[in-house]
Structure 1
Amino acid sequence: MTCAIVNPTFGVPGVELSALASWMDLQGIEHGPVTELQSIGGGTQNIMLRFTRGTREFILRRGPLHPRATTNDNLRREMRLLAALAGTAVPHARLIAACPDESVLGESVFYLMEPLDGFNAAVELPALHASNADVRYRMGLALVDALATLSTVDYKQAGLADFGRPDGFLERQVPRWLQELDSYAQLDNYPGHGLPVELVSEWLTRNRPTSGPIGLMHGDYHIANVMFAPDGPHVAAIVDWEMCTIGDPMLDLGWLLATWPEPNRSDDVLSSALAGAGGLPSAQELVRRYGERTGFDVSAADWYAVLACFKLGIILEGTFARSCAGLAPADVGQRLHDSAATLFARARNLIDHH
């Protein structure tokens, strides 16, 4: 993530400082002016602002200026999730306070969380991590350990029993995402995807596991959605919880495998700084470690990786389709179409070697 200094007189669009200060007064959260504002940029369109009030630093997260119909509900889910994680060992940014009321800050709900002392290894590596292959190897294992901790949370005890629809979760995946792909045809100038969708979807349907574990899922788990500690290999926090639900947590493992930078391969989907530095554990080591830490049967890990390639590829293709209609930048759309093609190629490779 990158930060930009903000003029405290004007704040940032979508965050009226006087309204924020008044709301914090009502919550009894520090006192005085809101100062030292920094706008935080990341992989999301949500607005994030770092600031100081009194003796304490805060991160504010709210929806974009032009939200989708589901934005506020998604943010309310994040608030509920972060509150539930407070009693678990899952590394996360601690929730300070939540405002589910849309009227306080420009028609968007928002919440405050603790700042994180960490870095995004998809973007940069500090000197310690860049210079030490052993540290990078242990970073890979730490990614799996953090995921295993999340996957084995007692979600019912955490108050999240109704947070998703786990029954029939795997059965719904292929039809759901084929429907999403079909919807892109409605966008102007979309030429079609040219991806081996039928081959992959038929293989997934034929080889679907009869059942998997039920647990808390991140939904978009990969290198870019964690923050690593600056002084070692461990994960400081998992971030970006928009897709979190109750389902089959093995799909999170599949997602990590689908985006994993294997040694001696040029098709790194994320083009991350960590991948560029090398020295990471193999995909097989990740699977073994996850099985050891969760106790789950990981014999179908390749199937979950293929499903993740299929699902993520279709999601990325959506941006390409929107770019063809002028609803997203053309260069971004083309880049994500290329990534979708890479993911489907990975899926075919896994199928061919199965």
Structure 2
Amino acid sequence: MTSTHIDVNAIDFDALGMWMDGLGLPDGPFERVEPVTGGTQNIMVRFERGGSAYVLRRPPLHPRARSNEVLRREARVLAALRDTPVAAPRLVAACTDETVMGGAVFYLMEPVRGFNATLGLPEPHAGDPAIRHRMGLEAACALAELGRVDHHALDGLGRPEGFLERQVPRWMSELDGYAALDGYPGPEIPGLAETAGWLERNRPRSFSPGVMHGDYHLANLMFAHDGPRVAAIVDWEMCTVGDPLLDLGWLLATWPDPDGGGMIAGHVPGLPAVGEIVDCYTALSDRDVSAIDWYAVLACFKLGIVLEGTHARACAGMAPKDIGDLLHATTLSLFARARSFM
């Protein structure tokens, strides 16, 4: 076994082996151990044992206060999705007992065979405009499939009652909390009050609860190597039961601009316009998307406030200034995009 570039304290392979043996999973030495890189603070390690391949996911060595709770929620959602058509990583088993691996919960999933389009395109995708166009529609198809899942299997996850009514007060309160950081001058965000007021005045009166990914954008999708299909939706840290149309709004809010710009995801040439994304979702879902602009504005509003938090911490010397400046600029872009949806 090799552990190159893996902190030896991150994974207790002796404890992992005993736990796997107890579940009756294939035994033997751990082989081809390697880190799985990506835009997550959690630790992911790929390995093989007994002829089977796995990816282990656990919190960072210096976990946040809710890291274990987040991993438990992820594992619960992936277990509920395991036997559905949703393109999610297939859960093998989860260990919610913190004592097994030094205070960290963890789970095993099957490796995803796919690629992140925001990091570059392989062939045939790079050379085929039709495949690239269809990739965007497949993102809508995968989301519509998630929206069909019966959320009652996840009772107790999230608080769907009053979900929409809580959004603006919740995130305005978050923004107000940044004032406690020394050096932060306050939210210099043009259109902040206007956007909050518009959201409150135009809020949909009702919605049908469902399973939400919570951070549905292009960089959190893995695409199949042989075509435009979404191989897996990844990074389920923000999953909950709420209004699935916010996931669609999030996709629109972060969708790369045709001119090469992008809010979150990198540029992928030849993707469909946001109107085509909505049309594709609508054709596959029985949800009322007539207020989709409202959800896109809410996504811009919420994500912009989240990113402004890093800017506030940077002003207080708690994050790199260049990162804070970049994310503040992204916040301004998101609020400008919100105005276009309004």
Aligned pairs (5 A) from 1:321-340: 321-340=312-331
2:116 to 120, 127, 150: 120
Distance 2:7 2:63 in 1: 19
Equivalent residue for 1:171, pick from 165, 174, 178:
165
Q: Give the corresponding residue for 1:344.
A: 335
Match of 1:207 among 199, 202, 219: 202
- 1:140 corresponds, among 126, 136, 143, to 136
Matching residue of 2:20:
24
Aligned: 1:254 with 2:249 = yes
In structure 1, how many angstroms separate the alpha carbons of the residues matched to 2:137 and 2:7? 40
In structure 1, the partner of 2:35 is: 39
Aligned partner of 1:302 in structure 2 is: 293
When residues 297 and 17 of structure 1 are mapped into structure 2, their CA distance, relative to the original with a 3 A threshold, is same
CA contact (8 A) 1:102 1:108 kept: yes
Task: Specify every segment of 5 or more residues in structure 2 that has no aligned partner in the other structure, as ranges.
Answer: none
Q: Hey, what's the Cα distance between the residues in 2 that align with 1:60 and 1:118?
A: 17
Distance in 1, matches of 2:5 and 2:170, equals 47
TM-score for both structures, normalised by structure 2: 0.96
1:283 is aligned to 2:274: yes
Q: Distance in 1 between matches of 2:144 and 2:67?
A: 28
Alignment partners' CA distance in 2, 1:284 and 1:9: 44
Partner of 1:91: 87
1:345 Cα offset (Å): 0.8
Q: Deviations over 1:124-161 (max 9, x none)?
A: 211211111100000000000000000111122xx212
Q: Deviations over 1:14-50 (max 9, x none)?
A: 2122222222222222212212111112111000001
Could you tell me how far apart the structure 2 residues matched to 1:155 and 1:329 are?
40
**Where in structure 1 are there 5+ consecutive unaligned residues?**
none
In structure 1, the residue corresponding to 2:32 is in which secondary structure?
A: strand
- Residue type matched to 1:241 in 2? W
Range 225-234 or range 36-45, more displaced: 36-45
Other-structure match for 2:226: 231
Aligned-partner SS, 1:298: coil
Q: 1:22 to 1:16 in 2, by over 3 A?
A: same
Q: Partner letter of residue 206 of structure 1?
A: R
Indicate which of 48, 61, 66 corresponds to 2:57.
61
Preserved CA contact (<8 Å) 2:313 2:319: yes
CA distance in 1, matches of 2:156, 2:30: 37
Match of 2:176 in 1: 182
- How far 1:325 sits from its partner (Å)? 2.4
Taking the aligned partners of 2:68 and 2:232, their CA distance within structure 1 comes to 23
The number of residues matched between the two structures is 341
Q: Is the 8 A contact 2:5 2:35 kept in 1?
A: no
1:80 to 1:271, Cα distance in 2 relative to 1, 3 A: closer
Name the aligned partner's letter for residue 170 of structure 1.
L
Cα deviation digits, residues 74-118 of structure 1 (max 9, x gap): 100111111110121101111111100112222110000000100
Residue 150 of structure 2: aligned partner: 154
- Aligned-residue offset at 1:327: 2.5
CA distance in 1, matches of 2:57, 2:275: 36
* 1:249-296 per-position Cα deviation (integer Å, ceiling 9, x unaligned): 1111100000112323x541125142xxx2111111111111111022
Q: TM-score, normalization: structure 1?
A: 0.92
